[in-house]
Amino acid sequence: MPPMNQQLGQLSLLVKDYDEAIQYYTQILGFELLEDTPMSDTKRWVRVAPKGSSCQLLLAKAANETQLSQVGCQAGGRVFLFLYTDDFWRDYENYRSKGVVFIREPAEESYGIVSVFSDLYGNLWDLIQPKTS
């Protein structure tokens, strides 16, 4: 069997409102707005990603009560997303200055420097600068 070449292209992230999510991910976290295409009167195809990232977030507006109840808790309260950086302290201080709430202090781990932050809806993220070999 020939080797497979696969990669994650995008992840769907439930949000309450497209515009507030776009503002947070672009203005606070510094992601790029890759696409904002109207699909209907209530639905848009909105993609954001860190600059240079091959994996993107599809911001999906909750369309019913069940989806709305999952906004901010898609991983059951565990860290859901992992944001890798080449300069932990630059991004940590930048995010803190913009009001990002870190719920775990930075720590040196075997794999790198890491801290946990909460996004605008309560999803937990690891900010990680991996150790170089």
pLDDT of residue 62: 97
Regarding pTM above 0.85, the answer is yes
Q: Where in the chain is the domain with CATH 3.10.180.10?
A: 1-71, 73-133
Mean of all residue pLDDT scores within the chain: 95
pLDDT of residue 3: 77
Q: What is the 3-state secondary structure (H, E, C) of 25-79?
A: HHHHCCCEEEEEEECCCCCEEEEEECCCCCCEEEEEECCCHHHHHHCCCCCCCCE
* Fold observed for domain 73-133: 2,3-Dihydroxybiphenyl 1,2-Dioxygenase; domain 1 (3.10.180)
Domain 1-71 has CATH 3.30.9.10: no
The arithmetic mean of pLDDT across residues 69-81, rounded, is 94
